[in-house]
Structure 1
Amino acid sequence: MTSIDLALQAHHPMLRQKWKTVILASLGGSLELYDFIIYGVFAREIATQFFPATDPVASLIGAFGVFALGYMSRPLGGVILSSLGDRLGRRVVFLVSVLAMSATTIGIGLVPGYAAIGMAAPVLLVMLRLLQGFFLAGELPCSITYVVEEVPGRASTVSGLVIFCAAAGILIATLVSLVIHSTLSADDVLTYGWRIAFLFGGVIGLLSYWLRTSLEESSEFQQLRSHKVKRPFRRVLAEYPKQIVVGVGVAGIVNASNSLLFVVLPSYMALVLHADPRLVSEGQNIGIATMCVSLLLFACLGDRIASRHWHRLGTILMLAGSYPFYALLTAQRLDVIAAFTIIGAIGGLVNGSYAFLLADLFPTEVRFSGIALSLNLATVIFTGATPFLVTQLLHATGSPAAPGLYLTGVAVIALAAGIGLKAMGGRIDRAGTIAGAA
């Protein structure tokens, strides 16, 4: 047996350990979108419990207002947690963020309603949502940073796996909602059923925390212990402002298109196009499942063909096809199931590539801070604003195809941002580990 054979045999256990580490790091991302969806799914019940009013619309506005507040604390959380991650290490932020996020999720499930403690109920709900958003801001950027540094030779694949797990959190949320609504009466769902969903999410988080305690610091960060940056966030702003702008544009198309798929499109089809709500719900689940498969496929392809090409292709398809797509939809010349499937398949192009592209914009010593700032700014600007802007555009233009106009505009921004990817990227050293990670 040659020395090369012995080296390969010794290397295989290390590779298996690295992939196990990647999977553990990725699982926490499912909490992010689980939380995002589960609050919206049970918004009516939360509104009744915490914002009682004679007008149900006013009550619902209160609940969605608290939902939006969760995004307000994300930029601050992203700055603080990412700075700690670039100074103290990825592992400590991993553990702190998922533990705190789990605690706040459980807290929402346990906090008494307005009937029990009066105004203290909505105040506590607001505080918990702010804390939830704060700690959530570090979860996905930390996961992306960790996996690309652990297996840089397959950086596109492993970062795509993080996004795949995050998207899978939506499917978990819809399944939990289906089980609760199928097994409990409407009154029981209103009284305590919605709380089960939050408690379940918290328990998943605690399980994730326990699994992550076995993780070690990422390999790349360990090599930088003598070169750590004291003020990483300040350095990102001073030395990488163009990368931040590009990162926001690259992530913006993902946030906008996902917000349309997860939040706007179901209500739009049911209320504007008068589609069967059951068919819409079925189509949405098929669309999400299609996107999960599609994004993982294009993430894997990104290790062979540059990820920026897949992102650009997805952006161009949205730019050229969004308005015609919605025009066909409003003319009822496109089947609901087919529509969601198309959205999921094309969405996979940008969802499967953007995490790697963000990581590739920043060097190791400030990578966490750069990803967190780009990702959280894009989330605040595009995810939070999309439902409102699309609704306003529908009202202002009177055109049922208005969502297509909105996504076309966002695609122009993303395409412009993508021009700088080749010149500004290349920060992940993949050459030395591609063969070993195969």
Structure 2
Amino acid sequence: MHPAQHTTVAAPAARDGLRRKWKTVILASLGGSLEIYDFIIYGVFAREIARQFFPAADPLASLISAFGVFAIGYVSRPLGGIVLASLGDRFGRRVIFLVSVLAMSASTIGIGLIPGYASIGVFAPVLLVLLRLAQGFFLAGELPCSITYVVEEIPQRASLVGGLVVFCLNSGVLTATLMSLALHATLDAADVVTYGWRIAFIFGGLIGLLSYWLRTSLEESTEFQRLRSHKSRRPFRTVLRAWPWHIVAGVGVAGIVNAANSLLFVVLPSYLTTVLHVAAPLASAAQNVGIATMSASLLVCAWLGDRIAPRLVHRAGALIMLAGSYPFYRLVAAHAIDPFTMFAVIGFVGGFVNGTYAFLLADLFPTNVRFSGIALSLNLATVVFTGITPLVVTDLLHRIGPIAPGIYMTAIACIGLVAGLVLKRLGGKVERVSHAD
């Protein structure tokens, strides 16, 4: 064949291949959005669930029981991460993608269909706990699998596609809060308690089943196929033995993300209403602005990470949090910053670490144990930092007053910065164009 003819034939083939890869990235990312929606929607409707499954004379005691079940969803995540990641490194990413979204969807629909305590007594909360454990178990493999899959599919744009996964996660959280607003706007309060919250769960589960059907068209990631003959037989044991400091660095890199997001998603709305006496609707609206701002910021930072070293972007975010958190929250506590500006600033700065951490985790581990390494780092960071943030900040509020979130984030930023400083030495496992520091 003449060289010109060969080039003419190869160009459309290359374009088709790139189009297929981006389709894979989008499907992988959207699945994560749906699964985080399924997980978060429980917290959004915690008060309604409390009245259905934990009836008590004291509404606060009922709500505490409901939040206890919310926390249980995190208990099964480390085990889920270990099991699913090990299987993913041994048998491929695609099968874990399909299993996790199917199981999450079934669990979410199940929660929406469980009869309340008034109908089946103690079996109602027992079933709720079991389904919540299942949600946590299978969610533990979803984000690490998504990150692994997209980075291996388009390594030359690894920062951007990793950021796209996180962008879709944020979109799932935003969808859950918007679903709550829509149901409360269209139904009476009594109807939301009786059946409205169930609509949110069943909707999420059905959309998840649609995602499962779409994902059946996915092929195995290109890089995993290329290294099938070198896959690890015991990936979890291998990553613990050969890459322990990489896991520690990964926990630090993801920890600042988990702590900042726990503040944004969970702590700050209550902080505004109970400590600073801001009206609840205003706090909720401002929070949505913060989530939307962070989504836009993290995409820009992820795009930037394909042009300069992503560790520098992450480091910049940690430095801003380290230097700015205390003075920022002093202004917030003095009512010198309105809630919309407060959340917008937090969202913008949060984008620096949210937009880059997915790539940085993937870059710490080689292909044969990447899924396990990411899963272990992410789930340890989630259990430690997401789990303790509300408790620590609440305790600090009692001890030192309204500036507590600033002091807490200053300490967390130190951890994130130290972890970020070792990334150049420990990273470099994703094959792409390197950048000078």
Does TM, scored on the shorter chain, surpass 0.5? yes
Coarse TM-score class (shorter-chain normalised): over 0.9
Question: Does structure 1 residue 344 correspond to structure 2 residue 326?
Answer: no
May I ask how many residue pairs the two structures share in their alignment? Answer: 432
Question: Is the 8 Å Cα contact of residues 26 and 165 (structure 1) preserved in structure 2?
Answer: yes
1:289 corresponds to which residue?
292
Match of 1:365 in 2: 368
One-letter amino acid of the structure 1 residue matched with residue 333 of structure 2: T
Distance of 2:129 and 2:56 partners within structure 1: 18
What SS class does the counterpart of residue 431 from structure 2 fall into? coil
In terms of mean alpha carbon deviation, does 3-12 or 371-380 score higher?
A: 3-12
Query: In the alignment, is residue 310 of structure 1 matched against residue 313 of structure 2?
Result: yes
Partner of 1:226: 229
Give the corresponding residue for 1:10.
13
How far apart in 2 are the matches of 1:48 and 1:156?
Answer: 44
Instruction: Using the TM superposition, give the Cα deviation of residue 281 of structure 1 relative to its aligned residue in structure 2, in angstroms.
Output: 1.2
Q: CA deviation at 1:228?
A: 1.1
Query: Does residue 378 in structure 1 map to residue 381 in structure 2?
Result: yes
Write out per-residue CA displacement over residues 344-372 of structure 1, whole angstroms, 9 at most, x where no aligned residue: 10000000000000000000000000000
Q: Which whole-Å deviations, capped at 9, do the CAs of 1:26-73 have from their partners, x for residues lacking one?
A: 101113431343111111111111111111111011000000010000
Aligned pair partner of 2:84 in 81, 106, 126: 81
Amino acid at match of 1:211: L
Percentage identity across paired residues of the two chains:
70
How far 1:271 sits from its partner (Å)?
A: 0.8
Q: Give the aligned partner of residue 184 of structure 2.
A: 181
With normalisation by structure 2, the TM-score equals 0.97
| Cα distance in structure 2, aligned partners of 1:97 and 1:37 | 16
Amino acid at match of 1:30: S
Amino acid at match of 1:343: I
Q: What amino acid is the match of 2:89? A: D
Kept in 1: contact 2:320–2:349 (CA 8 A) = yes
| 1:28 aligned counterpart, secondary structure | helix
Match of 1:97, as an amino acid? Answer: S
Offset at 1:204? 1.4
Which amino acid letter does the alignment assign opposite residue 348 of structure 2?
A
Answering whether residue 425 of structure 2 is matched by residue 423 of structure 1, we say: yes
Question: Unaligned 5+ residue runs, structure 2?
Answer: none
Q: Which amino acid aligns with 2:189?
A: A
Q: Distance in 2 between matches of 1:334 and 1:176?
A: 28
Shift of 1:323: 1.1
Q: Matched residues in 2 for 1:36 and 1:298: separation? A: 26
SS at match of 1:319: helix
> 1:82-101 maps to which residues of 2 (within 5 A)?
82-101=85-104
Look up the match of 2:257: 254
Question: Hey, what does 2:277 align to over in structure 1?
Answer: 274
Are 2:38 and 2:205, in contact at CA under 8 Å, matched by a contact in 1? no
Given candidates 52, 55, 64, the residue that maps to 2:55 is: 52
* CA–CA distance in structure 2, aligned partners of residues 285 and 294 of structure 1: 14
Give distance in 1, aligned partners of 2:33 and 2:13.
33
Correspondent of 1:161 among 161, 164, 174: 164
Which residue in the other structure is 2:153 paired with?
150
- Is contact 1:45-1:190 (8 Å) kept? yes
CA 1:372–1:267: 2 relative to 1, 3 Å: same
Question: Which of residues 118, 121, 124 in structure 2 aligns to 1:121?
Answer: 124
Aligned counterparts of 2:12 and 2:218: Cα–Cα separation in 1 = 23
Matched, 1:408 2:416: no
Deviation at 1:293, TM superposition (A): 0.5
d(CA) in 2 for partners of 1:5, 1:167: 41
Query: Which amino acid in 1 is paired with 2:393?
Result: V
User: Match of 2:45?
Assistant: 42
* Deviation readout 1:197-237 (Å, 9 max, x if unpaired): 11111011101100000000000000111111100000000
Q: Cα deviations across residues 80-119 of structure 1 (Å, max 9, x unaligned)?
A: 0000000000000000010001000111101111101111
TM-superposed CA distance for 1:3, in Å, is: 4.1
Farther off after superposition, 78-87 or 172-181: 172-181
Q: Distance in 2 between matches of 1:33 and 1:385?
A: 20
How far off its partner does 1:2 sit? 6.1
**Contact 1:32-1:140 within 8 A present in 2 as well:** no
1:7-37: per-residue Cα shift (whole Å, max 9, x none)?
3332111111110111001101113431343
Q: Deviations over 1:310-362 (max 9, x none)?
A: 00000111111111111100101011111111011000000000000000000
